[in-house]
A and B are shown apart, each in its own frame.
Chain A
Amino acid sequence: MSDVVEMARLMQGNEAVVEGALAAGVRFFAGYPITPSTEIAELMAERLPGLGGKFIQMEDEIASMAAVIGASLAGVKALTATSGPGFSLKQENIGYAAMAEIPCVIVNVQRWGPSTGIPTAPAQGDVMQARWGTHGDHPVIVLCPASVREAYMLAIRAVNLSEKYRVPVILLMDEVIGHMRERVILPRAGEVEVIERKKPAVEPKDYYPYRPGDDGVPPMANFGDGYRYHVTGLVHDEKGNPTTDPQVAENLILRLHRKIYDHLDDVITVEGYQLEDAEVVVVAYGAVARSAKRAVKDARAAGIKAGLFRPVTIWPFPEKEVAELARQARAVIVAEMNLGQLKGEVERAVQGRVRVTGVNRLNGELITFDEILSAIKEVTTDAQSG
């Protein structure tokens, strides 16, 4: 058997998240059972103690988010996993993590909503909640895997980005990717880049916990390491002390944004397929991107120059990259399992230079490649007749 076959494994999406997180150094998980993310908690409960890590099932989703922040502040990389209703409850403390700049990762395996909806049915209705779910302007990074292997890789990347930028990172999955099993070949141990938070280089007496480095990110001391400082969700100065000074408040919120938006080249990743000469571009993410890829292949076979643009980072939205699409494409189709949450962003990015249509489905089933192919054919006909 070849080496590649030996390394190939059948793995579930939720399982891949766990393995990725552990490879990235996550050693703390707090969560609450919720379909379709529960496998992540179950596997973490089994795996963590053997690695010297900690698992706790908290009394609710709010508490799990809080415990994760507490653990991270104590210096242990921490992650939680949930689905729509639980994601809503976590928002309060996701805002806290954004404000207090505590690295943490939240996995949301999206299901049909609002409310309890259909617990086992896939959807992508949390795109906007992932960006704007907690109150106030706040930075956040959201990554969206389209395969089991990518769930593994993005779990690592989510942990790395959260450590690097001291920001909550959301791994926005969907039920299809979370529950499906497929063939994966994972990188060997040691082939994975693992990023640790930047530690202070000064003596405790000279430490300003919220004084940023050149990259806009303040070095972070862990509780218990000899740097005694204050952490609060209130607007705070560089010492961490609460203040209502308007200038400090504005500087803080602008810096929180700048530390992400000044590094978009690092934060944003996208994938293109057959885009070089594409006249019709399908924009899709998560499981729907797989339907879209098949539709693009079928369209090409039918002589239509179609391509796929897949944002892997969906927040910050890859505006520049999407604007590029409008330079050559005659039509853009956004396929998503919601009523057009990311389509609005695509429209904003292309600024009316190209027609944007949506393929949307909300019956709890994955959009099929046929539906997307029909849309491709339709816009092609429109473009030819127009």
Chain B
Amino acid sequence: MLSQVESHLRSDRFPHIWCPGCGNGIVLSALVRAIEELGYDPDKTVVVSGIGCSSRAAGYLDFNTLHTTHGRALAFATGIKLARPELDVFVLMGDGDATAIGGNHFIHAARRNIDLTAIIFNNSIYGMTGGQYSPLTPPGKRATTAPYGNIERSFDIAELAKGAGATYVARATTYHATMLEKLIVAGARNKGFSVIEAITACPVGYGRRNKMGNGLQMLLWQKEQAVTVKQAEKMSPEELQDKIIIGELYRGEAPEYTAMYEEIIARTKGKNQ
């Protein structure tokens, strides 16, 4: 398996830029294993990313990779997918990337139910710029721009995606790497807009400032906080406070955007020439 993962990496690009203890590499390897399991043709596989630590992942992957502008990955990916629907497109974003500067693109990609698989690396912070609060930083937590504690409420990415129209929504942590891989596979197989939130650790930009320890300790924290969808069903809202519900959270049925556009083409082909 390891060699198969390696075959999809641009090994000449290593060492990577991520800090010791960073969880991004775990998400990256889960994605590669998922693509391997899906059996996708690398020549027809596209990975689009935004800006931030997580978005550097695209550059390490031996597919058609596009490292775009901050927040805009889904809009670029929409252009690629609509222009060539036969391509399999994954979109890698950070939490600030996807839900702050890219929030508009995120809800509209979900609303269109365009067949993209979005993986959001949620480390609760802007890591690359050194630890500023994001829309996913929990209230009360500290960041360089929230030195007295964050007073903003945070988004629930899964609820946001569901509410906006995504037809597959799931969450895992980097501790649950195998689950993450399986959720990415299921998300990719969904013909529509799929969102997989990957809870990942940023010990340098977030953990340190919030006394959460090193990367290993943060992984263990993920393990402790995580409850499966099944377990969560039996728990009260109070018990679920501060817990991370993992697993497949939502599946919906809706027509997919590029398929509907192909129908318009079939209907109008040869007209208006």
Known contacts A50-B270, A63-B72; A223 and B108 CB within 8 A of each other: no
Main secondary structure of the interface of A (DSSP, over half): mixed
A296 to chain B, nearest CB (A): 41
A residues less than 8 Å from B68 (CB atoms): 66, 96, 233
| Interface residue? B190 (CB, 8 A) | no
The winner among B75, B77, B80, B84 for most chain A CB atoms within 10 A is B75
B residues less than 8 Å from A78 (CB atoms): 79, 83
A residues less than 8 Å from B270 (CB atoms): 50
Residues of B145-196 at the interface with A, using a CB-CB cut-off of 8 Å, are none
Report whether B79 and A59 are in contact in the complex, using a CB–CB cutoff of 8 Å. Answer: no
> Number of contacting residues on B, CB 8 A?
43
B136 to chain A, nearest CB (A): 21
Report whether A63 and B59 are in contact in the complex, using a CB–CB cutoff of 8 Å. Answer: no
| Interface residue? B211 (CB, 8 A) | no
Report whether B42 and A223 are in contact in the complex, using a CB–CB cutoff of 8 Å. Answer: no
Task: Pick from B120-128, B244-252, B261-269 the stretch touching chain A.
Answer: B261-269
Report whether A224 and B75 are in contact in the complex, using a CB–CB cutoff of 8 Å. Answer: no
B29 to chain A, nearest CB (A): 19
A residues less than 8 Å from B264 (CB atoms): 49
| Interface residue? B46 (CB, 8 A) | yes
Tell me the complex Cα distance, A228–B48, Å.
Answer: 13
B residues less than 8 Å from A69 (CB atoms): 76, 79
| Interface residue? A294 (CB, 8 A) | no
**Which of A52, A56, A92 lies in contact with B82, CB distance below 8 A?**
A56
**Which of A93, A96, A241 lies in contact with B13, CB distance below 8 A?**
A241
A residues less than 8 Å from B63 (CB atoms): 228
Report whether A228 and B67 are in contact in the complex, using a CB–CB cutoff of 8 Å. Answer: no
Report whether B84 and A67 are in contact in the complex, using a CB–CB cutoff of 8 Å. Answer: no
Report whether A52 and B269 are in contact in the complex, using a CB–CB cutoff of 8 Å. Answer: yes
Report whether A223 and B87 are in contact in the complex, using a CB–CB cutoff of 8 Å. Answer: yes
Tell me the complex Cα distance, A58–B86, Å.
Answer: 21
Tell me the complex Cα distance, A155–B66, Å.
Answer: 28
- Please name the residue on chain A nearest to B271 by beta carbon: A50
Tell me the complex Cα distance, A67–B114, Å.
Answer: 13
B residues less than 8 Å from A68 (CB atoms): 79
A22 to chain B, nearest CB (A): 10
Tell me the complex Cα distance, A135–B234, Å.
Answer: 54
| Interface residue? B64 (CB, 8 A) | yes
| Interface residue? A144 (CB, 8 A) | no
| Interface residue? A6 (CB, 8 A) | no
- Please name the residue on chain B nearest to A52 by beta carbon: B265
| Interface residue? A54 (CB, 8 A) | yes
B223 to chain A, nearest CB (A): 34
**Which of B67, B104, B271 lies in contact with A63, CB distance below 8 A?**
B104
| Interface residue? A51 (CB, 8 A) | yes
B7 to chain A, nearest CB (A): 12
A59 to chain B, nearest CB (A): 4
Report whether B67 and A47 are in contact in the complex, using a CB–CB cutoff of 8 Å. Answer: no
A residues less than 8 Å from B239 (CB atoms): none
The winner among B82, B83, B265 for most chain A CB atoms within 10 A is B83
Tell me the complex Cα distance, A74–B64, Å.
Answer: 10
Tell me the complex Cα distance, A93–B102, Å.
Answer: 14
Known contacts A49-B268, A76-B84; A228 and B79 CB within 8 A of each other: no
Report whether B78 and A56 are in contact in the complex, using a CB–CB cutoff of 8 Å. Answer: yes
Report whether A67 and B42 are in contact in the complex, using a CB–CB cutoff of 8 Å. Answer: no
Tell me the complex Cα distance, A56–B43, Å.
Answer: 26
Tell me the complex Cα distance, A298–B260, Å.
Answer: 57
Report whether A93 and B69 are in contact in the complex, using a CB–CB cutoff of 8 Å. Answer: yes
Report whether A67 and B64 are in contact in the complex, using a CB–CB cutoff of 8 Å. Answer: no
Report whether A28 and B72 are in contact in the complex, using a CB–CB cutoff of 8 Å. Answer: no
**Which of B42, B43, B69 lies in contact with A66, CB distance below 8 A?**
B69
**Which of A58, A225, A232 lies in contact with B78, CB distance below 8 A?**
A58
Residues of B218-265 at the interface with A, using a CB-CB cut-off of 8 Å, are 261, 264-265
**Which of B44, B72, B273 lies in contact with A51, CB distance below 8 A?**
B273
Report whether A66 and B80 are in contact in the complex, using a CB–CB cutoff of 8 Å. Answer: no
The winner among B64, B265, B269 for most chain A CB atoms within 10 A is B64
Residues of B56-103 at the interface with A, using a CB-CB cut-off of 8 Å, are 58-59, 62-69, 72, 75-84, 86-87
Tell me the complex Cα distance, A60–B63, Å.
Answer: 29
Known contacts A50-B269, A62-B72, A92-B69; A223 and B64 CB within 8 A of each other: yes
A228 to chain B, nearest CB (A): 5
B residues less than 8 Å from A142 (CB atoms): none
Tell me the complex Cα distance, A242–B268, Å.
Answer: 43
Tell me the complex Cα distance, A225–B64, Å.
Answer: 9
B residues less than 8 Å from A58 (CB atoms): 75, 78, 108
A residues less than 8 Å from B272 (CB atoms): 46-47, 50-51
The 5 closest A-B pairs by CB, nearest first: A70-B79, A67-B79, A66-B75, A63-B75, A71-B83
Chain A residues near B (Cβ < 8 Å): 28, 30, 46-47, 49-52, 54, 56, 58-60, 62-64, 66-76, 78, 92-93, 96, 223-226, 228-234, 241-242
Chain B residues near A (Cβ < 8 Å): 10, 13, 42-44, 46, 48, 58-59, 62-69, 72, 75-84, 86-87, 104-105, 108, 261, 264-265, 267-273
19 contacts between A and B (CB under 8 A): A50-B269, A50-B271, A60-B104, A62-B75, A63-B72, A70-B76, A70-B79, A74-B84, A75-B84, A223-B84, A224-B43, A224-B86, A228-B43, A229-B64, A229-B65, A230-B10, A230-B59, A233-B69, A242-B67
